[in-house]
Amino acid sequence: MLRRARQIRTQIHQIVDAGLFASSFWIAYALRGDPQIIAWFNLPPIDSVTLDPDKLVWLYAALIPAAPLILESQGFYSRPPLGSRLGVIWPLLKGCLITTFGLVLAMFALHIVTPRAMMVFFGLISFSLVYAKEELVRWALHSRMAQSQSSRRFILVGTEREIIRMRKDLLHHTSEGVEIAAELNLVETPVQQIVKMLHDHSIFGVVLSAKHTNFEQVEYVIRACELEGIEVWLIADFFSTDISRTSLDELLGRPLLIFRTAPEAGWQSLVKLLMDFFGAFVLLVLSAPLFLIIAAVIKFTTPGPVFFRQQRSGMSGAPFTLYKFRTMVTNAEQFKHELEAMNEMTGPVFKVTNDPRVTPIGRFLRKYSLDELPQLWNVLRGEMSLVGPRPLPVDEVKRFENLAHRRRLSVKPGLTCLWQVSGRSRISDFKEWVRLDLEYIDNWTLWLDVKILILTIPAVLRGTGAK
């Protein structure tokens, strides 16, 4: 029920599932090398070089953390504990298939020769073990002992309207083991009755809604429960918000209620940070020869510097210097005001398809987004991310008429984004651009970043829609 309890339960499942996937790989390895299995299935014999443990052990380092992440991306951990079996089988089947194919690709990339039957064994065994674990958990939750241990008795406290809403929500989640033992209307019943109700019903906790009620009465209930060591769950929806997500923290020993619309800092954010740093570093190293070629071509074909520098708005609107390969004539900014009538983008953003300021080599670089390569340095410096809303010039951000558009500044800007893989520069309405950026922010997951990075490759190679 509580988010913290769900997170702990999910983390335990992820640890167990990682162990099961690792065990499945070891079992598949042992089965494929077993002479009796080879005889039963009429498989070709293998030598020690093909199944060298020293080569396969490196796959464990990737398999153990990757398998739970893949299952999470398929919604395997977001389902209710006692949901339908189809809700278990379908995401688990997809997760096992993706993990198996991922291992095959990893083996191909690392030049590890592995019999195909071993990967078939791995997929079947991993699915069977994880599904068996889920059935065991289902049986345990259905047992009388588990139900008696997990069942907790609560008192609902609030106004009549709030009690009705809380009762409806809690009864809708009967699998959470919550039993409503009593209700206390703060308007019609003296608040002092809470003490007698605690004693009469052997209460585990009190669910208290403080909206539109007298805070002195709320404080009395909390102090009465505090005295007897009974939990109080305060529904702190004092203010109505449309898109903010709330979280509870602590500031200098005082409870703190946080309203945020950007993704909350967590382990996924940490992985994103590491992915940005190491991804940018590897890409910079691999593209170093291409950097030299592009720099030489720009230097010898057009007068002026190789790189273009511009102040862009980063996270929270903080300005930073963005780097690109120069694709325009050196005095391009001076002629910008003369081209305002050709602007194809509504709103504060300036976009022109056949911009006369672009050089011939610049047009080629823009078509395949090669001019953006120096921004890997911005990613390495922590000013940008591999995936995020594209950074806009500071003067364009200052011209935002709708303040809600500034919410795209609540995360780091990126090299690629949902806007680019959804049509790239063909989008001419700035509101649609912002809508896609906010859709990315509101639905961000690590898996979404991976999907956008994968979709960026064909979008760039096609070279369609870039300006």
| Spatial separation of the C-alpha atoms in residues 450 and 437, rounded to whole Å | 16
Instruction: Tell me: pLDDT of 102 over 80.
Output: yes
Judged by average pLDDT, the poorest of 108-117, 126-135, 194-203, 383-392 is: 108-117
The stretch 260-282 carries a mean pLDDT of: 87
385-387 and 231-235: which strand pairing? unpaired
Residue 328, judged by CB atoms within 10 A of its CB (0-12, 13-18, 19+), counts as buried
Instruction: Tell me: pLDDT of 396 over 80.
Output: yes
**The pLDDT of residue 50:** 52
Instruction: Tell me: pLDDT of 171 over 90.
Output: no
To which residue do tokens 């809690």 refer? 170
**The pLDDT of residue 54:** 65
**The pLDDT of residue 356:** 80
List Cα–Cα distances, 160 to 109, 153, 170, 188, in angstroms. Answer: 63, 20, 15, 9
**The pLDDT of residue 41:** 67
Instruction: Tell me: pLDDT of 47 over 60.
Output: no
Instruction: Tell me: pLDDT of 128 over 50.
Output: yes
- Dig out the tokens for 29 from the structure: 């390895």
The answer to whether 463 and 424 are in contact (CB under 8 A) is no
Judged by average pLDDT, the poorest of 2-16, 187-201, 374-388, 432-446 is: 2-16
Helix count and strand count (H, E) for the chain: 17, 10
**The pLDDT of residue 213:** 58
Q: What stretch of H or E contains 310? A: strand 307-313
**The pLDDT of residue 49:** 46
**The pLDDT of residue 339:** 72
Instruction: Tell me: pLDDT of 380 over 80.
Output: yes
**The pLDDT of residue 307:** 93
The stretch 315-321 carries a mean pLDDT of: 90
The answer to whether 175 and 137 are in contact (CB under 8 A) is no
**Higher per-residue pLDDT: 154 or 32:** 154
**The pLDDT of residue 143:** 65
Judged by average pLDDT, the poorest of 54-63, 117-126, 265-274, 453-462 is: 54-63
Q: What are the residue ranges of CATH 3.40.50.10700 in the chain?
A: 151-238
**The pLDDT of residue 151:** 63
Phi, psi of 445 (to 5 degrees): -145, 165
| Segments of 125-264 assigned E as strands | 152-158, 178-185, 205-209, 231-235, 245-251, 254-260
The answer to whether 71 and 17 are in contact (CB under 8 A) is yes
Select the highest-mean-pLDDT range: 219-233, 341-355, 382-396, 415-429.
382-396
To which residue do tokens 């019609």 refer? 188
Give me the chain's average pLDDT, please. Answer: 82
- Dig out the tokens for 224 from the structure: 């009465």
pLDDT tens for 351-367 read 777 778 888 898 899 88
**The pLDDT of residue 204:** 82
List Cα–Cα distances, 275 to 60, 65, 380, 386, 394, in angstroms. Answer: 19, 14, 10, 8, 27
The stretch 231-247 carries a mean pLDDT of: 76
Measured at the alpha carbon of residue 306, what is the angle toward residues 337 and 287, in degrees to the nearest 5?
120
Write the DSSP assignment of 155-176 as a string of letters. EEEE-HHHHHHHHHHHHHTGGG
* 151-238 maps to CATH 3.40.50.10700: yes
